[in-house]
Amino acid sequence: MTDSATISSLVQFSGQPIPGAPRVRPESVHPPERRSPDGPPRSPSKTESNAALPAPLLSGETRLASQQAGAPSAEPRAAAPSAGAEALTEEEKKKVQELQSRDREVRAHEQAHKAAGGPHAGSPTFKTVRGPDGRSYAISGEVKIDTSAVPNNPDATIRKMEQIKRAALAPSNPSSADRQVAAEADAKIQKARLEKREMEAEEREKAAGAGGAPGTSDRTSDRTIDKAARGARHNLLA
């Protein structure tokens, strides 16, 4: 006759019940007794019974994957370099450095025009190109500046043109176009000074015509009397 413990073991490990055997729940099976060398037989503890059962393989794999994904690495990861900088060749890196230098030079040049030109200068505009690293760099620029004379006001024109000349020559390396603007401002300064002298002369003439120069009438009368007297003497002598 087969005891219930043996049947329980067969059911547990084979997975198929034996025909004709009574059905026994695994929880009701008493584990085999173990003898202690110094005492009566003792039953294994609950912890020992659970430890004897093999852990499900799938569960073990899942925990391992979770630990690998979440556990911190022993070595800190270095910051990933940018894709653009990593992919550049030495020649491309040199080109980027040249573009960066040119960009700084152009922007400083146009900003000097803007700062010195004051209200007569507009905002800088730039022409850019895309470098090997995908960024845009300024390679040239311009600042629009008002070089028109102030109507009927030579003094204001002179002040304006002097500021425009300073703005044109403000950068450390003025371009040929900058020097041309400065020369144009110089020419307008000379023209405004000439206009100022002409306006002052006209004002003096107007003042002289309106009031007359003092003593002019008296001197004219004296010359007329002297001429008549000389004519009378000539008649007497004749």
Q: pLDDT band at residue 209, thresholds of 50, 70 and 90?
A: confident
Residue 18 lies in a domain: no
pLDDT, one tens digit per residue, over 146-199 is 999 999 999 999 999 999 999 999 999 999 999 999 999 999 999 999 999 999
**Whether 131 contacts 87, CB under 8 Å:** no
The dihedral region occupied by 173, where left means phi > 0, alpha psi between -120 and 50, and beta the remainder, is beta
Give the span between the Cα atoms of 14 and 2, in whole angstroms.
16
Rg (CA), the chain: 55
Give the span between the Cα atoms of 173 and 225, in whole angstroms.
74
Q: In this structure, are strands 125-130 and 41-42 parallel, antiparallel, or unpaired?
A: unpaired
Give the span between the Cα atoms of 3 and 44, in whole angstroms.
20
Residue 178 lies in a domain: yes
Residue 62 lies in a domain: no
Residue type, 148: S
Residue 126 lies in a domain: yes
Give the span between the Cα atoms of 50 and 1, in whole angstroms.
29
Determine the 3-state secondary structure of 70 from DSSP. Answer: helix
Q: Residue 146: which residues within 8 A CB-CB, separation 6 or more?
A: 120, 121, 164
Residue 177 lies in a domain: yes
Residue 1 lies in a domain: no
pTM equals 0.51
The whole domain housing 105 covers 91-205
Residue 4 lies in a domain: no
Residue 13 lies in a domain: no
Closest CA to 117 of 138, 143, 155: 143
pLDDT, one tens digit per residue, over 49-88 is 444 444 433 322 222 222 333 333 333 333 334 555 568 9
- Number of structural domains (the chain) is 1
Q: pLDDT band at residue 230, thresholds of 50, 70 and 90?
A: low
